[in-house]
């Protein structure tokens, strides 16, 4: 322990209110992984350059390594673990599997969360809009063609779901 004073904060993580002890310098990514068990939020570059730790904070895609956990007090955090409901994959996750969007899979959680944000504000993006939206997410396997196909497929799935509701 480095002598830092821990402070209790409340976050809503995937719909569940959690009260967590945090130090002032802890990032949201480390608190999600180590305090909440949300290990789908990957830690890689720790400087916001790769997108592996992307989560939704109040509905907006944010690299969790770039924000302090204490600054997220009272906010709604959604991680990759929060997408599936009762064992049923989210349409974006289904599309990722069907279109081979994951090779090693390390980038997938961040890519999928960024895709969820993109499709929430632009349900029918062009390929250029997809590329721009995913520009902050790196895939070390260079699987971009399949990832773009997965985003396109997810957009169609979500649109189809919404028209059948």
For the chain, 165 residues long, give each residue's pLDDT as a single digit of tens.
456 789 999 999 999 999 999 999 999 999 999 999 999 999 999 999 999 999 999 999 999 999 999 999 999 999 999 999 999 999 999 999 999 999 999 999 999 999 999 999 999 999 999 999 999 999 999 999 999 999 999 999 999 888 876
Give this prediction's pTM. 0.94
| Domain map (residue ranges) of the chain | 7-80, 91-163
Per-residue buried b or exposed e for 20-43, using 16+ beta carbons within 10 Å of the residue's own CB? bebbeebbbbbbbbebbebebbbb
Q: Does domain 7-80 have CATH number 1.20.1250.20?
A: no
Domain 91-163 CATH superfamily:
[2Fe-2S]-binding domain (1.10.150.120)
């Amino acid at each position: 322990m480095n002598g830092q004073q821990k402070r209790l904060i409340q976050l809503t993580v995937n719909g569940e209110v959690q009260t967590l002890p945090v130090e002032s310098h802890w990032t949201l990514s480390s608190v999600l992984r180590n305090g909440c068990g949300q290990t789908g939020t990957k830690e890689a570059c720790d400087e916001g350059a790769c997108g592996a730790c992307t989560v939704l904070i109040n509905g907006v895609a944010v690299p969790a390594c770039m924000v302090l956990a204490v600054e997220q007090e009272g906010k709604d955090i959604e991680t990759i673990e929060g997408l599936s409901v009762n064992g049923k994959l989210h349409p974006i996750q289904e599309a990722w599997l069907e279109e081979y969007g994951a090779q090693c899979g390390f980038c997938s959680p961040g890519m999928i969360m960024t895709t969820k944000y993109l499709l929430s504000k632009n349900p029918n993006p062009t390929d250029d809009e997809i590329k721009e939206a995913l520009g902050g997410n790196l895939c070390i396997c260079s699987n971009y063609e399949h990832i773009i196909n997965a985003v396109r497929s997810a957009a169609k799935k979500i649109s189809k779901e919404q028209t059948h509701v």
